[in-house]
């Protein structure tokens, strides 16, 4: 039976399975994972997020995902049960990241009202900055089947519980407002954000902060508090063009196996290592194999021989090139963060 992969949004380690969905970025013990599978998984999730954002869940075919990620279908099925399992993993990643952003902002404030405003402001900025992930969570998830809808409903639980704390702020009596009020408020807020994200213009979502806060406080604090929220200053959003980070693994005409990554790690740990020292550290006992592998990595520009080598009867001395350092660092962060 395949292990189900889930997440904490740097597209690294897993956090939730399809059936047990914490939606809080919690980490679970990794089973049978290697550096290679983590890199491949990260690339699959990144590709799936992009395609779902562009074409919706219906357009997120496995063929498109594997093609953009540069992995085989077999690799996909080693990591995910099916398309829905992959989408759920991306969804969990996005929700976990948005939750951290909003929670951190809210926790820096005192009182329910100010915490709600800070958390909502941070969430709107996040959704505006991360349009692909925002569209996936707010828009695409609604048309992605019953399992995704169930996960979404589960993830809304903490938000609804936080809004329900407003009942303790009302002067008219907590008992006069049913708990269902918070569910209605949360649904209304998400509905407005959903509608704005479907519009063709690129207005900053943080512009919704004041009217949405008015909606949130109205049933609990009354019309005066809602009117005050409408008049409060809105944070200015700087529009900084985002440049897509170039994947250092792109363009490598080589399949990154576990053994390959162990060789890169061995050289990173011991710059200037000889063939034999690299082999010992990487656990490659066949000298012919290590020689071929080092030659291939040298040809790709990932390592360089700074020793004299056989020409003068001295051992090779391998070091990572700047490109090799970037690849090794990318793999290591994806596997351990």
Q: What is the DSSP string of 259-302?
A: HHHHHHHHHHHSTTB-HHHHHHHHT---HHHHHHHHHHHHHTTS
Window from 32-41, 51-60, 77-86 with minimum mean pLDDT = 32-41
Give the mean pLDDT of the chain.
79
The answer to whether residue 27 scores a pLDDT higher than 60 is no
Q: Where are the domains of the chain?
A: 1-244, 258-336
pLDDT digits (tens, 9 = 90+) for 192-216: 999 998 887 778 899 999 999 999 9
pLDDT-derived band at 254 (thresholds 50, 70, 90) equals low
Q: How far apart are CA 239 and CA 125, in angstroms?
A: 11
Q: Where are the alpha helices (H) located in 108-222, listed in sequence order?
A: 112-129, 131-138, 146-155, 157-164, 180-198, 209-221
- The secondary structure of 214-229, three-state, reads HHHHHHHHCHHHHHHH
DSSP 3-state percent helix, strand, coil across the chain (nearest 5): 65, 0, 35
Q: What are 306-311's contacts with CB under 8 Å, separation 24+?
A: 306/272, 307/272, 307/274
Structure confidence at residue 243 (pLDDT): 44
CB of 305 closer than 8 Å to CB of 316: yes
The fold adopted by the segment(s) 1-244 is Tetracycline Repressor; domain 2 (1.10.357)
The answer to whether residue 292 scores a pLDDT higher than 80 is yes
Q: Return the SS3 of 193.
A: helix
The answer to whether residue 290 scores a pLDDT higher than 80 is yes
pLDDT digits (tens, 9 = 90+) for 234-248: 877 654 444 444 555
Structure confidence at residue 61 (pLDDT): 94
For the segment 318-334, the average pLDDT, to the nearest whole number, is: 74
Q: What are phi and psi of 156, to 5 degrees?
A: -75, -10
pLDDT-derived band at 172 (thresholds 50, 70, 90) equals low
The answer to whether residue 148 scores a pLDDT higher than 60 is yes
Q: How far apart are CA 130 and CA 120, in angstroms?
A: 15
For the segment 60-66, the average pLDDT, to the nearest whole number, is: 93
Structure confidence at residue 331 (pLDDT): 61
Q: Return the SS3 of 1.
A: coil
Window from 108-117, 174-183, 241-250 with minimum mean pLDDT = 241-250
The answer to whether residue 6 scores a pLDDT higher than 50 is no
Structure confidence at residue 143 (pLDDT): 84
For the segment 270-274, the average pLDDT, to the nearest whole number, is: 91
Under 8 Å CB-to-CB from 321, ≥6 apart: which residues? 301, 302, 303, 304
Q: How far apart are CA 85 and CA 76, in angstroms?
A: 11
Q: pTM, whole model, 2 decimals? A: 0.64
Provide, rounded to the nearest whole percent, the portion of the chain with pLDDT above 90. 36
Q: What are phi and psi of 273, to 5 degrees?
A: -65, 145
The fold adopted by the segment(s) 258-336 is Arc Repressor Mutant, subunit A (1.10.10)
Structure confidence at residue 35 (pLDDT): 53
Query: Do the domains spanning 1-244 and 258-336 agree at the CATH topology level?
Result: no
């Amino acid at each position: 039976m395949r292990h189900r992969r889930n997440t904490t949004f740097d597209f690294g380690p897993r956090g939730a399975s399809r059936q047990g969905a914490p939606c809080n970025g919690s980490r679970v013990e990794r089973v049978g994972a290697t550096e290679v599978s983590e890199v491949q998984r990260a690339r699959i999730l990144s590709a799936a997020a992009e395609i779902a954002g562009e074409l919706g869940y219906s357009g997120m075919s496995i063929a498109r995902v594997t093609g953009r990620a540069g992995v085989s279908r077999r690799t996909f099925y080693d990591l995910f049960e099916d398309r829905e399992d992959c989408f759920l993993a991306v969804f969990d990643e996005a929700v976990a990241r948005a939750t951290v952003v909003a929670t951190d902002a809210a926790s820096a404030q005192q009182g329910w009202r100010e915490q709600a405003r800070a958390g909502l402001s941070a969430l709107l900025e996040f959704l505006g900055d991360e349009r692909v992930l925002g569209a996936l969570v707010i828009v695409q998830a609604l048309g992605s089947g019953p399992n995704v809808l169930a996960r979404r409903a589960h993830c809304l639980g903490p938000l609804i519980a936080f809004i329900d704390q407003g009942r303790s702020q009302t002067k008219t009596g907590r008992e006069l407002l049913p708990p269902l009020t918070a569910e209605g408020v949360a649904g209304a807020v998400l509905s407005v954000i959903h509608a704005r994200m479907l519009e063709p213009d690129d207005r900053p979502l943080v512009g919704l902060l004041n009217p949405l806060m008015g909606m949130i406080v109205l049933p609990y604090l009354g019309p005066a508090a809602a009117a005050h929220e409408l008049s409060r200053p809105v944070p200015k959003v700087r529009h900084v063009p985002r440049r897509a980070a170039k994947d250092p693994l792109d363009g490598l005409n080589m399949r990154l196996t576990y053994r390959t990554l162990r060789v890169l790690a061995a050289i990173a740990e011991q710059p200037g290592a000889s063939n034999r020292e690299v082999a010992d550290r990487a656990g490659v006992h066949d000298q012919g194999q290590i020689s071929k592998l080092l030659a291939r990595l040298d040809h790709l520009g990932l390592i360089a021989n700074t020793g004299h080598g056989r020409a003068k009867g001295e051992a090779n001395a391998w070091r990572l090139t700047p490109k090799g350092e970037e690849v090794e660092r990318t793999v290591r962060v994806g596997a351990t963060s």
